[in-house]
Structure 1
Amino acid sequence: MLTHILHLLLAGQAAATPTPALGAQQLFDRASQSAADGKCAEALKDFAALERRTNSKPNRLLGAAIDVRKGGCLIRSERVEEGEAALRRGLPVLAAQPKEFAADLRDGHILLGQARVRQLDYAGAAEEYRHALDGATGTFRIRPLMGLASVLASIMTARPFDTQAKRGPSRLPIPPCRNSPRQRSRRCTPACS
């Protein structure tokens, strides 16, 4: 019985021991993993803590990586303007080292392309998807190519409507229905032919 009580006391003591604070690298890794897993609320909390910690000794490259990964979470959390601003701050810095940050660059431009599509800015979206393709190789080219193809298809199908709207409605003659005198004055439909 005494050993049982000692085990309980030791277990309680271990639970009461505070966990050591995470280092900057561990916090960055945890935030990045949370962002990759779609747990954006946790990731945003960790990125904010990391930004507070690194403000005293700023590292341009670390700040850019945080901006890009945090920007992706902000966009996914429907905070599009904040996310776009963060991505636009971080992507140019990471572009200086494209091999090390190829995935961040690709994903950042894809997210900006998706944001542009939601704003119906198809030309801007196409440009972002082209930037995403720049450093992508192999199967990593699929997502940017699919996004670009979708945007280009939207542009191509939107043009006839745009030119139609500028010219006005079509005035093609519609043949009258032939099966009854009463219907000859109406436009022909499949039901009356």
Structure 2
Amino acid sequence: MLQPLNIAVDSLVASAVPDLTTHADAEDLRLGVFSAFESPTAIAERLKAFKPDIILVDSVWLVLAALLESLTKVSGLTKTRRVVGSKAVDDVLKIQAAHRGMVDVVNLNNSAPKVIEHLKHVHNGDSSLANDELWKRVPRPTAFSDITAVPQDATDLSILELICIGYRDQDIAEALHYSVQSVKNRLGIMMKRSGVA
């Protein structure tokens, strides 16, 4: 018997497509919803427990794409595909999604069965944008995404989380009660481990 497809969606997607849960049950899929407003540690714990094959997040997560990548890696979900959903799929969204390492874009204006069908195709390695010329031309992150694979402890993860929301060295040092030099040292070590530096 085949394993059911596990799909984790954030609460913003769940509210945008309210009948997604009903249709997931009918399709024999496991759907897990996590709050987009939980702490990163709580989200990582939920993802680790649920073990999703696909994570479907609202487009607001594009700003926090490095954090999402870090959370999946910290949770041991290295093969989990990250997909962004939006009610407005345009070229700008496609470029942002590609730059931030997402594997596909889902239009949340579609019905729940169509969204589920789209995610099944993503799980099988297909992309709705595979033949999209713009999608093909946009460079994918290389070393940028590698840094999120290297947090050694909760402090490293906290530093990455704060960078993702726009904090600078001084802000991070104040938030974590570290010296600015300690923050810079930790970042330097993470960059060396990732191969960026």
> If each structure's strand is expressed as a fraction of its own residues, which one has the higher value?
2
The alignment's TM-score, normalised by the length of structure 1, stands at 0.29
> If each structure's helix is expressed as a fraction of its own residues, which one has the higher value?
1
The alignment's TM-score, normalised by the length of structure 2, stands at 0.29
